[in-house]
Amino acid sequence: MAGRGDPSALRWLIGVELAGYRKRAGQTLAAAAKAIGCSTSLVGHFEKGMYFPQPEQIAGLLEFYGAPAWDVERLTSLCGRADQRSWLAPWIDVIPDWLSTFVGLEGLAESEFAYQPMALPGLMQTEEYAQALTSATGFVRQNHNERFVSFRLARAQRLVDSEPLWLHAVIGESALRLAVGTPEVRMNQYRRLIELAERENVKFQVLLPACGPHDAGGTGEFVVLSFAEARPVAYVEHLDGAIYVQDPDDVRTYTLVSENLQRVALEPADSVDFVKALMSET
């Protein structure tokens, strides 16, 4: 699995998979615990991402749930990353738990789809833009602003790692026109978007009102993360927390919405041209 290590996110991801297989198999925690010879509470802790199960425990549970052999191999292989140190450690006191879980998952993902109607994706922001945006909000304490910006920049490195994240973003026109910082800050941010669009692993599309109606009209921003060795997860952020969508059918709904957005929004080349036009206005 590409990305940077984060044990807590990895535990969470394995736990979600184990819980999903158990529920689809119609088994109880007690029955699962009996099948592998441990306590009911321990299996519950595995599913909540509180403890790392051993490979043989994962295999035993999945075999009891009737999972196919390739799924057993896929999930047991994840345990090999259990001893990695989290790259988030330097910022753990300035970001909330719900956000650290997401960024940890993002570090483990192979690809990400992001729909951002009102603000530019954090992964695509310049340092000056991120600083201006962070300073303008009341969600980060003043004495934490600089460290929070450094966290955003470290997170953005995911796009240029040796095994980079593949990012596809659909960005609303309002996000591009948002008056963040000075005209120079916004101009540099537009240049950054154009530079990123030249990378093979980054693609963005601009969604204009003139593009017409779309399936995300009532959803607001959301993200879908895809992994090499785990099922996709959708993420929806709100003012003081986030919702992690784990059920495969629900995640599929978000995937279908993302596909609709890609059909409706401007093509990538036209989106770059739109940003260039904004630069001439700034």
User: For the domain that residue 114 is a member of, what is the CATH number?
Assistant: 3.30.870.10
Long-range contacts of the stretch 10-13 (C-beta < 8 A, 24+): 10/52, 10/78, 10/81, 10/82, 10/84, 10/104, 10/108, 11/49, 11/50, 11/51, 11/52, 12/49, 12/101, 12/104, 12/105, 13/49, 13/78, 13/105, 13/108, 13/227, 13/230, 13/233
And the tokens for 186? 């916004």
Residue 155 lies in a domain: yes
Domain termination site, one of 51, 81, 111: 81
Predicted pLDDT at 143: 45
Q: Is the per-residue pLDDT at 148 higher than 80?
A: no
Q: Is the per-residue pLDDT at 2 higher than 50?
A: no
Q: Is the per-residue pLDDT at 32 higher than 50?
A: yes
For residues 165 and 243, state if they share a domain.
Answer: yes
Predicted pLDDT at 4: 55
Of all residues in the chain, the percent with pLDDT exceeding 90 is: 55
For residue 204, what pLDDT band results from cuts at 50, 70 and 90? very high
For residues 214 and 110, state if they share a domain.
Answer: yes
Counting the structural domains of the chain, the total is 2
169-189 residue pLDDT tens: 999 999 999 999 999 999 999
For residues 75 and 162, state if they share a domain.
Answer: no
For residues 152 and 214, state if they share a domain.
Answer: yes
Predicted pLDDT at 107: 84
Residue 87 lies in a domain: no
pTM summary value:
0.80
For residues 46 and 179, state if they share a domain.
Answer: no
Domain that holds residue 59: 7-81
φ, ψ of residue 154 to 5 degrees: the values are: -65, -40
Residue 266 lies in a domain: yes
